[in-house]
Amino acid sequence: MGDFLQVNLKDQVAVVTGATRGIGQSIAEGLAANGAKVACLGTNAERLQQTVTGINQNGGEAVAYLCNVAVTEEVNKAVKEILERFGKVDILVNNAGITRDMLVRRLSDEQWDDVIAINLRGPFLMTRACCEAMRKAKYGRIINITSVSGLQGNAGQSNYSASKAGLVGFTRTVALELANRNITVNAVAPGFIDTDMTAVLSDIVKQVAKDQTPVGRFGQVEDVANAVLFLASDKASFITGQVLPVDGGLTV
């Protein structure tokens, strides 16, 4: 478990997609450490169970839901079960994401479609499924994990960059639609973070990434989780439709 910002999320219900590892796991742990009951969504049953067991063994409360965020029926079923069990959703963190990097001239239809489906359609499906309950409760926090690649170009990531830039547009518009119901919608844009997603990069690419990052290192998953915790808290009630880079100065 990480070193987390302290905010009061007691009795709140949080939903985190892609909670089986990396940033999503840390976000789920941080929310649980602050008193939220956390519904952890993921596609890998074994790893999902590990996340949930870890949280429950540390005094938190988490429940696993197998769910591919790109599939409407799976999303609607998971959110229905969460609402039946907990009665509400206060916080939704759309974290699940993938990369399928390739220069655009060689990018396949499948590489394009898979990334858009998980990174952009997924947050749409999850938001649509959760926002009615938030509207009725007149409270909600939706936090979308975008990327610096959604704010600036990154050669080899046209599909990923388009999905994450799309998520920024989605964030701003949904923020406007839900503002009068006391629901905030924001995005966090990580730079290079030490996770399995970046572990596959070659040593040369990793060194270039570090050189490009003014603080000279990769971020840790807790850096992103703590930004999410702030935006999820009651202290952030006047912030909506915004994108918070957590990138060591990369996009400055």
Active site positions, annotated = 160
Rounded Cα distance between 96 and 186, Å, is 16
Q: Which residues bind ligand NAI (CB under 6 A)?
A: 17-18, 20-24, 41-44, 68-70, 95-98, 118, 145, 147, 190, 192-193, 195-198
User: Residue 135 or 172: which CB sits closer to ligand NAI?
Assistant: 172
CB of 188 to ligand NAI, least distance (A): 8
Which residues are bridge partners to 64 per DSSP?
A: 40
For CA atoms 17, 29, 188, 157, the dihedral sign is negative
**Smallest separation, CB 23 to ligand NAI (Å):** 4
The residues near 117 (Cβ < 8 Å, ≥ 6 apart) are: 70
Cβ of residue 9: shortest distance to ligand NAI, in angstroms?
Answer: 21
Q: For residues 168 and 242, is the Cβ–Cβ distance under 8 A?
A: no
The residue (of 139 and 222) whose beta carbon lies closer to ligand NAI is 222
Say if CB 148 and CB 97 are below 8 A apart.
no
- Nearest CB to ligand NAI, comparing residues 180 and 203: 203
CB of 181 to ligand NAI, least distance (A): 26
Shorter beta-carbon distance to ligand NAI: residue 48 or 133 = 48
Which of residues 43 and 184 has its CB atom nearest to ligand NAI in the complex? Answer: 43
Question: Which of 179, 208 has the CB closer to ligand NAI?
Answer: 208
Give 239: exposed, middle or buried? Use CB within 10 Å, 0-12, 13-18, 19+.
middle
Edge-to-edge strands, sheet with 183-190: 61-66, 37-42, 13-17, 91-94, 140-145, 183-190, 243-246
- In the bound complex, what is the minimum distance in angstroms from residue 244's beta carbon to ligand NAI? 12
Q: Which residues have CB under 8 Å from 191's CB, separation 6+?
A: 148, 213, 219, 245, 246, 247, 248, 250, 251
> How far apart (Å, rounded) are the C-alpha atoms in residues 86 and 66?
17
In the chain, helix, strand, coil percent, each to 5? 50, 15, 30
